[in-house]
Structures are given as structure tokens and as C-alpha cells.
Amino acid sequence: MVTLLRWLYATPHVGALLSTWRGRLILAFVVLQLLLPLAYFARKDPHDERFAWRMFSPMRMARCVPSATLDDAPLNLAGEFHEAWLELASRGRFQVIEAMGARLCEKYPSKAVRISIDCTYLDREQRTYGGYNICDVPEL
Amino acid sequence: MAKKKGKKPAKTAPSATTEKPADKTAPSIDSAPPAAVRRDPAKRGLAIAKPRAAEPPPEPPAFWFGFDVAWAKLLAFRLVFFGLLALDALLQLRHAPRYGAGGFNVAQLPLLDGLGPTRVLYAIAQLVCAYLFVLAALGVATRIAVPLVAAIYAWLYFGSQLDGYQHHYLVALLLGIACFVPWQRPAEAGHATTVRTWAVRLVLVQLGILYLWAAISKLDAAWLDGSTLSVQIQGSVRELIDDTVGIKLVARLTILAELVLAVAIWVRPAWFVALPLGVAFHVGILMSNLEIGLFAYLMLAMYLLVIPDRAYVWLAERRPLEVLRRLFAPSATRDLLVGLVTLSGIAIATTLVALMCRLPFSLGVALGLGLVPLALVAHRRLRGRPGGAAIGAAHLVALALWVLVDRTTSVSVDYYRFWGGSSRRLGDAEAAERAYRKMVALAPDEGSGHFQLGRLLLKRGEEREGLEELRRAQELETARARAYVAEAQYLAGKGRTAEALAKAEEATYAEPTDQTALDLVDQLSGKKRPPAGAGSGASDDDQDQR
């Protein structure tokens, strides 16, 4: 790695870029923008396509149905969260659903909160995430 | 930021590309002096190969630091880009009630969860953003306005995942880069004079990266066989595709177009390809009615950067634009008028907002923003710079845009509608009533506000006023059953069955297919039991969804 960096620095273009603050800023920006979308492939949440420029990708077409129970009794999520958050949950955004779970666990401390999403995809089998007490395991 | 001094990088530099400046005959102003490149990197502890230490310092790469743009083009882009963003900021205001609703927020960056915008802060921030975008569009105080609006926009975007669209991310990035573009033309520069700006090149490279990753994300069987696109495109465009080349070919051509644009948009000699292809691509997206908000317009605006400079120079030399330019040019002869213009601008703009603008918090924010032109003119005077009349004029234009957007769109009414809707669903009846009262005041001829307000009032026992509101809704929504149903349910709950039945029947006359109304008639006339869940009479047309 160090050798690669040395070699890169020795190339006229990169070396010249690195010699000014503007050049370093440009290089950092371009490298970050080229590499940041790769983070999508390392995420545990396949629905989270933020910062990856995956406009209109097949995954964007996934539709999920979030549901929750409180001590096994159905919980109306629309009465707990703004519909814009439910819209994000229906796209399968794990972070949002986990935060919803955390909020419900905080609001109903002595109850079991089961939260799950049933997702359908264009190119893969239907899948359900969660379904266990999210207060015990706070991740999908 | 723009600096007029500095050396032009040698075109024979080892790292230089083969690209030429926009106009060789035009004088050039360098925005990025390469003075720092003369420093020896070895002195800063960087490990470099031995022979290199003895070599002369590297020349800055012409690819970045030799990128020229004619002022006429940069100013046209500035006007359109920031103008569009000003418009978008005002249109976004209707979504303010979703921010902080129920005290819940998930930020783009986990550290910001607690620092996300609330309804009030979001609305105020968008008003300020719209104001600053107009100042930037008109070239007023860009060195302050652009970084400030970039910071506010970044906070709004990164502070909550609610602004989760890709174009918000793109705008946040572009505004960050825009802080380094020299937006203000020096007095001595003409239309054809070029300015050297690496930041505009970076904007184009960023777009190239966007297209590249967008293409990569589509290298998937579900895209290549056309099934993904077929779900997204409907309507006349879909019919046209089905009748001609077929959805599968269009899906594949989309990837090809994105790959070509990924390269052509930042390589000047390839702009003749990028311009027609990119414009056709985004116009096609617009015509497909895909739910992408402002994104397609924004992307079209970016293509102003790949139109040849000479087209802008020609346009700028036309008489109407020339007259405008002279009018706003700094001039010593008009110095005495500056104070008058500024004060008039503030007074007229504030009066205009006070009398006509219904956007939330607009008057308070306008009064606060009235200090901006005063401060800018004072700052200008203290530095001994002439002119400044444009500051007062820009202030007036910025606030006039608020009024224009408010009066030609449903932003204000939607704001109260969405606020009322989310408060009602989240159990805050007091806030919901306040919002619906405001909505009814703004849009007395819209049945929705009367309907929701009527239901809320009946719920807290205000029978006379509640029924009045429901009856007003019945008059306005002649083809909808819900207001009749709500009244019938209330009357039935009070044991006034005959009146309730009459109202329920009226509901079926208004909307013969409404199942709730039909069930209610059956129930009240003793024909059958109500089905589970029936009888809400509620309608969620006040949901804030995009």
C-alpha cells in the first residue's frame, strides 16, 4: 500500500495535485466519491442505497410492509410515527426500523416489541426481516 | 474563491491534458493561483523518490487548474442553478411538518440524530435558503451567501433521512464545490473573458462519477431484461416504447447512455456528444413521469455548463441583456442612489411579504433578513467599493419570489394541511386544530380543512361549530361522502338515529360507491351489522407523502 502511494505520488499528475491544498482537496473529493458507493456492497442492509448513486436500481423497487406488535397485540405504527418515516420503512430502511424499535422499547419499557418487515423484490424471493423482540436484539 | 493574480499554468506541463482553454483570444482571469506548488513537498515530510527532490517543483495539472469558462456562461449557469434551488427550497417548505414530528428523527449521520431540523427550524431554514439562493443567483455577496447556504443545506440534508433523495445529496455536494467557484465577475471582465476555475471542472467530474455508478447499479439481470424499467415507466412514454423498440432495449440503452455521459460530460472535446445525449436523456426522464421531483430539471441545468462558451457570449451581447448589465454595473455616478435603493428595497419587500405572503414565519424571517442588505451595503462602503444598488434590488427580488411561489402554488395550504394531518394521526389534537384553523383561513373554499376541523371539534364536544364545519365541507365536496358520513356517525352516537340515517343517505347520493356510507345506511336502517373497522369516515388526503 505504502509502495502504491509512493508510486502515485511520484507520478507527475498526482504529485502536482498533492503539492497544493486545492489539489489535495480535489483528490480527496474525487477518491471519496469514487469509493464511497462501494460501501453499499458492504452494508448489511441491501435496501439502503444512500450515497451510492443507485438511481432506479432494481433494489429501489423493493416494497416492504412494516408491522409491529406490543406484547403480541398489533400496534398501529401510523399512530406512533409520521407517515414519511413509515414510507422509508416501507422501502426497507433498516436504520429507520431499528430506530423505530428503539423508540417503542423506550416508550413501552415493560413490553415486548416485535417489529418486522415483509419485503418483495423484483429479482429475488420474498423475505421477512425481524419478528423478534427488538428490545432484546436491537438490530434487524 | 476568485483571485485575480497568479500564474497561468504552462500548457506544456507533463501532467497537462490536451484540452484547450475555452477561448484562446479572450483574456483570462486565474481563480486558482498555483503559488503553493512552488513549495518543496519534501520539506513537509512527504516521502518521495530521491531523483524527484532535485527536480523543479511540479506544475499544477492543467486538467484542473487550466479549466477556463467564459464569464457569460458562468453567470448564466449561476442564475439558472441557484434560481432553481431557490424555487425548490420554497416548494420544500410544505414538508416542514414532517420534521421532528412525534420527536422522532433518524439522521443521515448517526451523530446528528439529536441535531436534526424541527418543523419550525426547517421552515425558517428553507426561507433563508431561498433568500440566499436568490442573492447568489443575482451575484450578490456570493462569497458569503454560497458558503452559508451550503452549510444550511448540508445540515438539512445530513440532519435527517427524510430528505433521502439522491438529488438532495447531489445538491449538498454541488453546493460544497460551489463555495470555490468565483461567481462574481470583476468589473474589468467582459462577456468573453474567461475565468480559470477548477471547481467547475470538479462539478463536471462529480456528474461523471454519478453517471458511472448509476450505470453500474443497473448491471443487474432485473434491469437488463427490462423488468425494473417496466415497473417504473407508465403512461404514453411506455406505450411509445412498447410500440417501437421495446422496454428491454431501452433498459440497455439507458446503461449505455449513462456510461457515455460518465466520460463525455467532463471531457471538453466530447461535449458535442454529451450535450444532446444528456439533454435527451433527462428530458426523456421528465416525460416518463418518474417521481424524482426536481432532479431532472437540476440535471438539465447542469448541461448549461457543456454548451459552448461562444453561445453565451453571443447571447450576452444582445441588447436587452446589455442594458440590464449596465443598469446594475457599479458606478460612481449612482453612488448617492444606493442608500435610497437599498432602503426602498427593504421597505417594499417587507411590505409585500406582510401584505401578501402566507408562508409560515415569512414576516418574521423577512424582518430579520432586512438587516442583510443594510449590512452588505455598509460593509461595501467601509471597504470603499462603489455601487451596491443591486443588493437592495436582489433583496426585493428574493422576497418577491416568496410571494410569487406562495400565490401560485399550494405550498402554504399544504404546509398547514400536512401539519394538521400528522398532528392528528400522532394524537396531538390541539396542534391539529390550530393547523386546520389556519388552513381554513387560507383556503376557505377547500372542503378538506373544514372536514378535518369539523371532526376534531366534534370530538372535543364543540357540536355547533363542528357541525357547521362539516356542513361547509358538504357544500364544497359535493361528490364526496365523508363529511356526510362524519355527521351521520356523530348523530348516531348521540342517539339521533333518524337524522343520522337521513345524513347517511345523503352520503350515498353524493358518492354512491362509498362503502362506508352504504354500510352506515344498512346499519342505521337495521339491515346489517357494521363491518369491522367501518365508520371511521376518515380520509387521509392530508398525508405528507411524495
Q: What is the ipTM of this complex?
A: 0.93
Q: Which residues contact B11 (CB under 8 A, 6 or more apart)?
A: B62, B66
If DSSP codes are grouped into helix, strand and coil, which group holds residue B68?
A: strand
Residues in chain A: 140
In a domain, B317, yes or no: no
pLDDT value of residue B17: 38
Residues in chain B: 546
Q: Which of B41, B220, B543 sits opposite A58 (nearest CB)?
A: B220
How would residue B319 be classed by pLDDT, with cut points 50, 70 and 90?
confident
- Going by their DSSP bridges, the two strands A113-120 and B68-70 should be labelled as unpaired
In a domain, B281, yes or no: yes
Is the domain of B219 the same as that of B344? no
Is the domain of B135 the same as that of B271? yes
Mean pLDDT, rounded, of chain B: 85
Residues of A within 8 A of B220 (CB-CB) are 57-58, 123
Who has greater pLDDT, B328 or B439?
B439
Q: Which residues contact B190 (CB under 8 A, 6 or more apart)?
A: B26, B71
CA distance B123 to B173: 22
If DSSP codes are grouped into helix, strand and coil, which group holds residue A140?
A: coil
Determine, for residues A84 and B47 on separate chains, whether the beta-carbon distance falls below 8 Å: no
Residue B111 clears pLDDT 90, i.e. is over it: no
pLDDT value of residue B43: 43
In a domain, B102, yes or no: yes
Is the domain of B244 the same as that of B103? yes
pLDDT, tens digit (0-9, with 9 covering 90-100), for B208-255: 999 999 999 999 999 999 999 988 887 788 888 889 999 999 999 999
pLDDT, tens digit (0-9, with 9 covering 90-100), for B10-59: 333 333 333 444 444 445 555 544 444 444 444 444 444 445 555 666 67
Gap from A84 CA to chain B (nearest CA, Å): 6
Residues A92-113, buried b or exposed e (16+ Cβ, 10 A)?
A: bbbbbbbbbbbbbbeeeeebeb
Closest-CA residue of chain A to B108: A50
Is the domain of B181 the same as that of B78? yes
Is the domain of B232 the same as that of B169? yes
pLDDT, tens digit (0-9, with 9 covering 90-100), for B349-379: 899 999 999 999 999 999 999 999 889 888 8
CA distance B83 to B220: 37
pLDDT value of residue B387: 67
pLDDT value of residue A121: 93
DSSP B57: P
DSSP B470-530: HHHHHHH-TT-SHHHHHHHHHHHHTT-HHHHHHHHHHHHHH-TT-HHHHHHHHHHTTSSPP
Mean pLDDT, rounded, of chain A: 91
The alpha carbon dihedral of B506, B511, B512, B513 has a sign of: negative
Residue A11 clears pLDDT 70, i.e. is over it: yes
CA distance A35 to B208: 14
Residue B172 clears pLDDT 80, i.e. is over it: yes
pLDDT value of residue B21: 44
Residue of B19, B106, B539 to mutate, testing the A interface (most A Cβ within 10 Å of its Cβ): B106
In a domain, B416, yes or no: no
Determine, for residues A84 and B545 on separate chains, whether the beta-carbon distance falls below 8 Å: yes
Residue of B67, B181, B228 to mutate, testing the A interface (most A Cβ within 10 Å of its Cβ): B228
Is the domain of B130 the same as that of B224? yes
Gap from B24 CA to chain A (nearest CA, Å): 24
pLDDT value of residue B234: 79
Is the domain of B231 the same as that of B271? yes
Determine, for residues A26 and B60 on separate chains, whether the beta-carbon distance falls below 8 Å: no
pLDDT value of residue B361: 96
Whether the CB-CB separation of B159 and B117 falls below 8 Å is answered with yes
In a domain, B56, yes or no: no
CA distance A91 to B56: 56
Nearest to B261 by CA among A55, A128, A65, A117: A55
Is the domain of B381 the same as that of B247? no
Residues of A within 8 A of B543 (CB-CB) are 83
Whether the CB-CB separation of A119 and A126 falls below 8 Å is answered with yes
Determine, for residues B198 and A22 on separate chains, whether the beta-carbon distance falls below 8 Å: yes
Is the domain of B364 the same as that of B479? no
Determine, for residues B290 and A23 on separate chains, whether the beta-carbon distance falls below 8 Å: no
pLDDT value of residue B533: 44
Residues of B within 8 A of A39 (CB-CB) are none
Cell numbers 456562461 correspond to B73
CA distance A64 to A46: 12
Closest-CA residue of chain B to A86: B545
Is the domain of B270 the same as that of B389? no
Is the domain of B446 the same as that of B301? no
Residue type at B265? I
CA distance B7 to B102: 57
Is the domain of B259 the same as that of B377? no
Domain housing B404:
336-408
Gap from B542 CA to chain A (nearest CA, Å): 11
Q: Where are the domains of chain A?
A: 2-42, 58-133
Whether the CB-CB separation of B317 and B369 falls below 8 Å is answered with no
In a domain, B325, yes or no: no
Whether the CB-CB separation of B482 and B454 falls below 8 Å is answered with no
In a domain, B443, yes or no: yes
